[in-house]
């Protein structure tokens, strides 16, 4: 983006400068204390992740390394899954056995053609570091690796879904569960084990699930055009078939209004997770952990707003602007109340763009209002106890104020005024003031101001 | 008699059972609950008639006649929905509100106590905690009832006075009568002469391109079927309490309690209006909508009231309307969900479709009749 853009949008530039200048990470990595294998791991983290590497490296030191390694293990699995050059009969056992593989010292894989292949070629450094982890953290990562590897293998073998795409909302959510819900589960367990989050979160898996669903659904909604180019489709047929007959119609300018309505319904479906997400984030006990979960959530609600009723999402890959991203990062790294205001702001923007001709118009409006209602339950602006007290006080005061009393009050005020005037004039007179010219002066002033119309003017009429 | 599955209600009497809300209660009691009999008492019993129900004409302020009727009907539960239309100002309207809402309710209580009725469910209004000025954000049953000089709406004042009488009557020895009060917010639906009728009138007069305020104000509108459902849930639970010898624990108690009822779907005020207009056939978006700020709306409302006051006609636009359509007023119904186990049976959109559909039907009938 050119200088001209920022000239026209100074707010965007301001947010970016503010973020660069004022963002003070709670924790920082200390590369001096890191051994060679660990700094290699961080190099891979920076290489493979654009959005997560920064927040991960600002995490509390207790979880810095475990979450970095958890991320790299998932990235490793993902690289294998995505690689279409690996034959299925090799891929499936690799995925299912990855939790065993990641315990073999010196394991490397050289047959991948994916962009992140380098990670697999030197995966031994990850294995070395995994073995140094506290046992509780290691067990969580291993358990999640088993679940994710099996989930991915199931999908790789699911030719029905690969050929025909996702059919029902249930299937769509199951897919989101495997790619994001499980990551969330692992993270929650790590947060709880390290006491950076309220242990109650572990008892409410639905909240964690919503965190992952919200992020993954947002990605799917935004990536519709890119996925279409890759001949993949994650929008469930149950939703899109209500708006268009064939999936290709979504991209046909002839059906633009229907396609935009379809995206709206997808956005509505994603918005139903927001209340759970806000509730989940209320459970964070550590600032760095809060930032880690809040930034992606803030980005997600902004991305949904960007996609909502925006035909551009059907034509290209759209992204929130850098300035908006910096603004969201600023506001997502303070506290839940500030973050809630981010959600309120974007919910209201969605509501403002909502179109009465959209079949889900009312449901979308309700969902936005419900987000505001939920924020109200977290941070109430009204206190019924205080209101009751105020109402009682008013009740006591007002009946005593009859019209008779009002008249007395006015009489008293007037009386005081007159007395004061009298006293002041008296004092002035006592000290030698003369009032005989005053009336004449006033009369002159009155006539010159037009009180008595000059006779002269008549001629001109 | 009926083939319901939601529970036993015994003999049900709906006061105002030919009215807007009342006839939905009669219909649901017959279709979805196990009721031995369903009767209605109303001033006129010509409208909204269900052939499976029994109808009795009676002015409820006539205690003697009402008591006599109740002693012959012998209801287990009485659901008291009768109330005049909330709109209307001036001395005659105020007298009517007091006579029916307060006097009528007193008579109903007395008749119930004298004829061995077990349970009384009273239809109050969510407006009893609103002074029609202050916003209400996620308000619940802990909010103070606004009475006397603070309550600028006389209708709400009389509803609150009646509710107080009903709640005081609960377990008032020697009577065993159990009472509860339901406070619905913004009822709309088939047969609705206020909410939907008002929005549809605005649409027909070409006012759907005007918006008062910035439409960030959240409001509760409740489909009448859901409100009827809540009344019957409360009736069922009161009867269950009456059958039990112990007083329930406070957190699960229905008798002597009040409950807000909404669609659990707070919504931006003008979005609801647009959904109604859309259902009525409007194909316009929001571009070209003329937005009048909240301050100006209230000034215009006052001016209109003064103007119509001078020419001596009822005003088409009032200050109260301007205030209501620009204020935030929505409720938290967790208590009803927890204690009554209430969940709305119809979504807001379904309610709008049913309600507006009914109006379109009426219009068709009217044009045929002509």
Say yes or no to pLDDT of A458 above 70. no
Considering only CA atoms, give the Rg of chain A: 34
- Between residues A4 and A45, which one has the greater pLDDT? A45
- Domain membership of residue B360 (yes or no) is no
Residue B112 falls within a domain, yes or no?
yes
Q: Residue A144 falls within a domain, yes or no? A: no
Angle between helices A336-353 and A287-307 (to 10 degrees): 0
CB atoms within 10 A of CB A118: 15
Cβ of residue A372 closer than 8 Å to a chain B Cβ: yes
Distance from CA of B145 to the nearest CA of A (A): 8
Task: Report yes or no: A414 at the B interface, CB cutoff 8 Å.
Answer: no
Contact A356 B284 (CB under 8 A): yes
Q: How far apart are CA B154 and CA B89, in angstroms?
A: 8
Compute the 3-state secondary structure of chain A and give helix, strand, coil in percent, each to the nearest 5: 75, 0, 25
Which of A29, A75, A189, A222 is catalytic? The answer is: A222
Rounded to a whole number of angstroms, the distance from the CA of B305 to the nearest CA of chain A is 25
Query: Is residue A192 included in any domain, yes or no?
Result: no
CA distance A434 to B50: 91
Residue A362 maps to a domain: yes
- d(CA A30, CA B36) in angstroms, rounded, equals 78
Determine which of B268, B269, B281, B287 to mutate to test the interface with A (most A C-beta atoms within 10 Å): B268
* Residue B285 lies inside a defined structural domain of this protein: no
The sheet carrying B267-268 orders its strands as B136-139, B329-331, B218-219, B267-268
- The answer to whether the CB atoms of A377 and B332 lie below 8 A apart is yes
- Distances in Å between the alpha carbon of B338 and those of A145, A183, B136, B239, B258? 40, 33, 21, 18, 13
| Alpha-carbon span B14 to B77, nearest angstrom | 9
C-beta atoms of A384 and B143 within 8 A: yes
User: Residue A74 above 90 pLDDT?
Assistant: yes
Please check the confidence at residue A361 and state whether its pLDDT lies above 80: yes
Rounded-to-integer distance, Cα B335 and Cα B181, Å:
13
- One DSSP character per residue, B324-364 reads HTTS-EEE--HHIIIII----SS-HHHHHHHHHHHHHHHHH
Identified catalytic residue from B91, B99, B152, B159: B159
- Cα–Cα distance for residue pair A254/A257, rounded to 1 Å: 8
Mean pLDDT over A99-105 rounds to 93
Q: Is the dihedral of CA B97, B103, B107, B112 positive or negative?
A: positive
Q: What is the 3-state secondary structure (H, E, C) of A146-185?
A: HHHHHHHHHHHHCHHHHHHCCCCHHHHHHHHHHHHHHHHH
**Residue A232: per-residue pLDDT:** 86
pLDDT at res. A398: 58
Mean pLDDT along residues A35-45? 93
**pLDDT per position in chain B (370 positions), as tens?**
445 588 999 999 999 999 999 999 999 999 999 999 999 999 999 999 999 999 999 999 999 999 999 999 999 999 999 998 876 667 888 889 999 999 999 999 999 999 999 999 999 999 999 998 899 999 999 999 999 888 888 899 999 999 999 999 999 988 999 999 999 999 999 999 889 999 999 999 988 888 998 999 999 999 999 999 999 999 999 999 999 888 888 889 999 999 999 999 999 999 999 999 999 999 998 888 888 888 888 888 888 888 888 887 777 788 878 888 899 999 999 999 999 999 999 999 999 999 999 999 998 888 887 7
B181 lies in a domain? yes
Does any domain span residue A250? yes
Is residue A227 situated within a structural domain? yes
- Residue B130 to residue B260: CA distance in whole angstroms: 13
The whole-number pLDDT of residue A50 equals: 74
Q: Which domain holds residue B36?
A: 8-192+219-266+330-347
Distance to chain B for A290, nearest Cα, Å? 27
Shortest distance, CA A154 to any CA of chain B (angstroms): 37
Q: How far apart are the C-alpha atoms of A417 and A408, rounded to whole Å?
A: 14
Q: Which of B194, B275, B178, B288 is nearest to B236 (CA)?
A: B178
Contacts of B75 (CB under 8 A, 6+ apart): B10, B11, B12, B13, B39, B115, B117
**Contacting residues for A228 by C-beta, under 8 A, at least 6 apart:** A250, A251
A347: nearest CA partner in chain B: B216
Contact B289, B277 (CB under 8 A): no
Q: Do A361 and B136 touch (CB under 8 A)?
A: no
| B74 carries an active-site annotation | no
Domain count, chain A: 1
Task: Looking at B82-141, list the stretches that DSSP marks H as alpha helix, in order from N- to C-terminal side.
Answer: 90-97, 105-114
Of B216, B275, B283, nearest to A362 by CB-CB distance is: B275
Locate all alpha helices (DSSP H) within chain B, ordered by sequence: 20-31, 63-73, 90-97, 105-114, 154-169, 195-204, 224-243, 269-279, 294-311, 319-324, 334-335, 348-369
Residue B12 makes CB contacts below 8 A (sequence gap 6+) with B29, B35, B37, B38, B39, B75, B76, B77, B79, B235
Residues in Cβ contact with A269 at an 8 Å cutoff, skipping those fewer than 6 apart: A169, A217, A239
Question: ipTM surpassing 0.90, yes or no?
Answer: yes
Contact in structure between B61 and B103 (CB atoms under 8 Å)? yes
CATH code of residue B341: 3.40.50.720
A124-142 tens-digit pLDDT: 999 999 999 999 999 999 9
pLDDT > 50? residue A456: no
pLDDT, greater one: B369 or A105? A105
CA dist., res. B340 & res. B323, Å (int): 32
Helix, strand and coil percent figures for chain B, each rounded to 5: 45, 15, 40
Please report which residue ranges of A223-335 form alpha helices under DSSP H: 224-229, 237-240, 256-271, 274-281, 287-307, 322-332
Mark out chain B residues that contact chain A at CB-CB < 8 A. Answer: 136-140, 142-144, 146-150, 215-216, 218, 265-268, 271-272, 274-275, 277-278, 282-286, 330, 332, 347-349, 352
The whole-number average pLDDT for the span A342-352 is: 97
Whether A359 shows a pLDDT value over 90: the answer reads yes
Give the count of alpha carbons within 13 A of A422, CB side only: 6
Flag if A395 and B150 touch (Cβ within 8 Å).
yes
Which among A169, A353, A358 has a CA at the least distance from the CA of A273?
A169
CATH of the domain at A356: 1.10.600.10
Q: Which domain holds residue A369?
A: 213-383
User: Which band of pLDDT confidence, cut at 50, 70 and 90, is reported for residue A11?
Assistant: confident
Over residues A377-387, the pLDDT tens digits come to: 999 999 999 99
| CB A339, CB A298: distance < 8 Å | yes
pLDDT at residue B262, rounded to an integer: 98
Give a yes or no: residue B2 inside a domain. Answer: no
- Could you check whether the bond before residue B174 is cis, i.e. omega within 30 degrees of 0? yes
Would you say residue A230 lies in a domain?
yes
**Burial bucket for residue B249 (CB in 10 Å: 0-12, 13-18, 19+):** exposed
> A283 falls in which pLDDT band (50, 70, 90)?
very high
CB B126 within 8 A of CB B105: no
What is the structure's pLDDT at A461?
39
Beta bridge partners of residue A284, listed in sequence order: A197
**Per-residue pLDDT for A417 more than 90?**
no
What's the CA gap between A126 and A124, in Å, rounded?
5
Contact present, B1 and B52 (Cβ < 8 Å) = yes
Backbone angles phi, psi at A123, to 5 degrees: -65, -15
**Mean per-residue pLDDT over chain A, rounded:** 89
- Would B354 be classed as within a structural domain? no
**Residue B105 to residue B167: CA distance in whole angstroms:** 11
Mark A97-110 as b/e (b = at least 16 C-beta within 10 Å).
ebbebbeeeeeebe
Q: Which of A261, A271, A356, A370 to mutate to test the interface with B (most CBs of B within 10 A)?
A: A356
């Amino acid at each position: 983006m050119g200088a001209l853009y920022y000239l026209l949008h100074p707010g965007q530039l301001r947010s970016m400068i503010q973020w660069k200048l004022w963002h003070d990470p709670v924790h920082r990595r200390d590369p001096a204390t890191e051994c060679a294998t660990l700094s290699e791991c961080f190099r891979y983290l920076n290489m493979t992740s654009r959005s997560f590497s920064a927040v991960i490296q600002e995490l509390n030191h207790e979880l810095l390394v475990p979450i970095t390694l958890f991320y790299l293990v998932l990235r490793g699995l993902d690289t294998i899954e995505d690689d279409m050059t690996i034959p299925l009969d090799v891929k499936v056992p690799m995925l299912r056995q990855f939790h065993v593989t990641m315990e073999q010292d010196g394991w490397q894989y050289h047959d991948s053609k994916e962009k992140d292949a380098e990670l697999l070629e030197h995966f031994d450094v990850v294995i070395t570091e995994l073995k140094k982890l506290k046992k509780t953290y290691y067990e969580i990562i291993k358990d999640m690796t088993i679940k994710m590897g099996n989930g991915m293998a199931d999908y790789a073998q699911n030719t029905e879904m690969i050929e025909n795409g996702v059919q029902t909302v249930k299937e769509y959510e199951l897919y989101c569960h495997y790619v994001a819900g499980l990551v969330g589960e692992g993270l929650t367990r790590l947060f709880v084990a390290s006491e950076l989050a309220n242990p109650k979160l572990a008892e409410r898996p639905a909240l964690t699930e919503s965190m992952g669903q919200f992020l993954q659904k947002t990605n799917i909604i935004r990536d519709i055009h890119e996925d279409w180019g890759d001949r993949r489709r994650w929008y469930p047929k149950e939703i899109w078939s209500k708006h268009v007959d064939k999936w290709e119609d979504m991209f046909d300018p002839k059906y633009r209004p229907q396609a935009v309505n379809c995206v709206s319904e997808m956005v509505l479906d994603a918005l139903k997770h927001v209340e759970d997400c806000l509730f989940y984030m209320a459970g964070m006990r550590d600032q760095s952990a809060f930032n880690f979960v809040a930034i992606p959530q803030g980005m997600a609600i902004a991305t949904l707003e960007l996609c909502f009723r925006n035909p551009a999402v059907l034509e290209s890959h759209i992204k929130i602007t850098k300035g908006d991203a910096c603004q969201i990062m600023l506001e997502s790294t303070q506290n839940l109340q500030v973050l809630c205001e981010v959600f309120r702001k974007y919910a209201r923007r969605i509501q403002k763009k909502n179109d009465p001709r959209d079949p889900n118009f009312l449901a979308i409006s309700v969902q936005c209002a419900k987000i505001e209602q939920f924020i109200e339950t977290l941070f109430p602006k009204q206190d019924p106890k205080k209101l009751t007290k105020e109402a009682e006080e008013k009740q006591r005061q007002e009946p005593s104020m009859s019209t008779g009393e009002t008249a007395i009050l006015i009489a008293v005020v007037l009386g005081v005024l007159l007395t004061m005037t009298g006293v002041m004039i008296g004092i002035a007179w006592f000290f030698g003031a003369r009032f005989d010219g005053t009336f004449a002066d006033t009369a002159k002033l009155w006539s010159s101001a037009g009180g008595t119309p000059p006779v002269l003017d008549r001629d001109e009429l | 008699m009926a083939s319901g599955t939601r529970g036993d209600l015994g003999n049900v009497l709906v006061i105002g059972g030919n009215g807007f809300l009342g006839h939905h209660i009669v219909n649901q009691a017959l279709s979805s609950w196990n009721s031995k009999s369903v009767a209605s008492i109303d001033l006129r019993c010509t409208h909204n008639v269900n052939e499976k129900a029994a109808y009795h004409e009676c002015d409820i302020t006539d205690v003697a006649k009402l008591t006599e009727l109740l002693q012959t009907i012998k209801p287990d539960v009485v659901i008291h929905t009768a109330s005049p239309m909330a709109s209307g100002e001036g001395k005659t309207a105020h007298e009517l509100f007091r006579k029916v809402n307060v006097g009528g309710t007193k008579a109903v209580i007395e008749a119930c106590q004298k004829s061995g009725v077990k349970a009384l469910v009273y239809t109050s209004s969510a407006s009893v905690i609103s002074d029609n000025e202050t916003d209400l954000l996620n308000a619940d049953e802990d909010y103070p009832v606004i009475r006397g000089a603070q309550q600028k709406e006389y209708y709400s004042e009389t509803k609150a006075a009646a509710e107080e009488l009903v709640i005081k009557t609960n377990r008032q020895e020697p009577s065993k009568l159990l009472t509860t009060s339901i406070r619905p917010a913004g009822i709309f639906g088939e047969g609705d002469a206020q909410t939907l009728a008002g929005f549809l009138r605005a649409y027909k007069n070409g006012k759907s391109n005007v918006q008062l305020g910035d439409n960030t104000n959240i409001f509760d509108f409740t489909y009448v079927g859901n409100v009827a459902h809540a009344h019957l849930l409360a009736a069922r639970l009161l009867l269950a309490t009456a059958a039990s010898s112990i007083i329930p624990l406070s957190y699960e108690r229905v008798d002597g309690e009040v409950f807000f009822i909404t669609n659990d779907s707070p919504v931006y005020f003008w979005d609801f209006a647009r959904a109604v207009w859309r259902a009525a056939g409007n194909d316009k978006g929001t571009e070209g909508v003329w937005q009048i700020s909240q301050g100006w709306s209230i000034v215009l409302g006052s001016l209109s009231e003064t103007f119509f006051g001078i020419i001596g006609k009822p005003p088409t636009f009032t200050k109260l309307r301007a205030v209501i359509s620009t204020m935030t007023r929505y409720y938290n119904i967790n208590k009803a969900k927890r204690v009554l186990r209430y969940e709305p049976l119809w979504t807001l959109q379904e309610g709008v479709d049913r309600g507006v559909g009914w109006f379109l039907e009426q219009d068709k009938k009217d044009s045929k009749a002509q």
